[in-house]
């Protein structure tokens, strides 16, 4: 079987001024269709960098990355964006929804880049929102939704293009425990019922324990890769405490691009136009037609027509064209 995603001896080095930071130093990892994998490791160990590579939001400095069997180094940026749009959905800790855009239009956005007609986009977006239990929130904007609902909209957006893999980078990090449990249960259900492969970064030991495979990163390398061999068990009941899930004290998410290693995660309401230049720093764009530039071999380009980049706050709002989705 062709792996859904495959990294072979991948490295990623960031340049920050005169210094270089090697975030990944020779990682080989294969994700098969239908898998459920937790990626764990200390802050700064390279988890987000790996996720961005697997999600084609970035390219490796050296090594080979294959998505659906295709070597991303052989693809133009446009082809890479198309491959990403078709194969991978991405869910971020801070949701990355367009703040002035309805849930339905946020979810439909990846289909815009695929040239799907409007009526079909609206139908499929409503269907994806139904999958995450939000049929009654189609016309709500993110600010009118709770954090858990916003993350479910983001999951619907990741699903709308029917990807084989959903990559989720600390998707419960901004949610309280109960809401986070609901989001985890949703991801588990998508894996179990629809066979969507899930790769999930988490700091929660019990979340990691529920995955059937755990990849531990340390200092940019895979320290261990464990698989459960026991038969599948039923869902674990949610915990009753309500502590918020926060980042570890050692710091938030570093952006995958830009030259500021100290940069934090983008704010949840990071409005940005779906087309145009990525602001420096900030986190990565939403699943679908998104492209990041940077200091790697992929260059600093944002592709015309599919360069949705939701980085930090962009004054001026949504930029118009996303409203008419």
Residues in contact with ligand ADP by CB under 6 A are 14, 16, 21, 23, 41, 43-49, 253-259, 261
- How many other C-beta atoms are found inside a 10 Å radius of the C-beta of residue 240? 8
Q: Which of residues 280-299 bind Mg ion (CB under 5 A)?
A: none
Q: Rule CB under 5 A: say whether 253 interacts with Mg ion.
A: yes
Which entry of ligand ADP, Mg ion, none binds 45, CB below 5 to 8 A by partner kind?
Answer: ligand ADP
Q: Quick one: what does residue 44 bind among ligand ADP, Mg ion, none, with the CB cut-off 5 to 8 Å set by partner type? A: ligand ADP
Beta strand 165-169 pairing with 88-91: parallel
Smallest distance, Å, CB 241 to ligand ADP? 24
For the CB of residue 45, give the shortest distance to ligand ADP in the complex, in Å.
4
Beta-strand runs (E) in the chain: 5-16, 19-31, 36-40, 62-67, 70-71, 88-91, 165-169, 197-201, 213-218, 221-227
Binding Mg ion by CB under 5 A: which of 48, 102, 106, 202?
Answer: 48
Residue 17 CA to residue 134 CA, distance in Å, equals: 45
Q: Which is nearer to ligand ADP, 20 or 120 (CB)?
A: 20
Q: Considering only the stretches 34-42, 83-91, 253-261, 317-325, report the one whose residues sit in contact with Mg ion under the rule CB under 5 A.
A: 253-261
| Rounded least distance, CB 167 to ligand ADP, Å | 12
Place of tokens 């446009």: 78
Cβ atoms of 135 and 126 within 8 Å: the answer is: yes
**Torsion angles phi and psi, residue 246, rounded to 5:** -110, 165
Residues contributing to the site for Mg ion (CB under 5 A): 47-48, 253
């Amino acid at each position: 079987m062709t792996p859904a995603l495959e990294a072979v001896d991948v490295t990623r080095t960031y340049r920050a001024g005169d210094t270089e930071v090697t975030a990944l130093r020779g990682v080989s990892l294969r994700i098969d269709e239908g898998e459920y994998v937790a990626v764990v490791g200390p802050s700064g160990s390279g988890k987000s960098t790996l996720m961005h590579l697997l999600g084609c939001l970035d390219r490796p400095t050296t090594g080979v990355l294959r998505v659906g069997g295709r070597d991303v180094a052989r693809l133009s940026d446009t082809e890479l964006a198309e491959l990403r749009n078709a194969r991978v959905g991405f869910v971020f800790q801070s949701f990355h929804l367009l703040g002035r855009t309805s849930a339905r239009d946020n979810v439909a956005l990846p289909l815009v880049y695929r040239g799907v007609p409007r009526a079909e986009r609206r139908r499929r977006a409503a269907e994806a929102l139904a999958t995450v239990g939000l049929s009654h929130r189609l016309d709500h904007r993110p600010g009118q939704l709770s954090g858990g609902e916003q993350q479910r909209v983001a999951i619907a957006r990741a699903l709308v293009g029917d990807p084989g893999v959903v990559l989720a980078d600390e998707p419960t990090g901004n949610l309280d425990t109960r809401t986070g449990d609901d989001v985890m249960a949703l991801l588990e259900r998508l894996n179990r019922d629809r066979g969507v492969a899930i790769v999930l970064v988490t700091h929660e030991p019990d979340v990691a324990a529920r995955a059937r495979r755990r990849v531990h990163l340390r200092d940019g390398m895979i320290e261990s890769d464990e698989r459960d061999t026991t038969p599948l068990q039923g869902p674990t009941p949610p915990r009753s405490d309500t502590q918020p899930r926060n980042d570890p004290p050692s710091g938030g998410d570093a952006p995958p691009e830009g030259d500021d290693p100290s940069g934090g995660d983008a704010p949840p309401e990071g409005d940005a136009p779906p087309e145009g230049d990525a602001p420096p720093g900030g986190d990565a764009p939403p699943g679908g037609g998104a492209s990041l530039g940077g200091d790697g071999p992929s260059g600093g380009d944002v592709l015309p027509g599919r360069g949705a980049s939701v980085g930090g706050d962009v004054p001026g709002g949504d930029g118009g064209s996303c409203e008419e989705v």
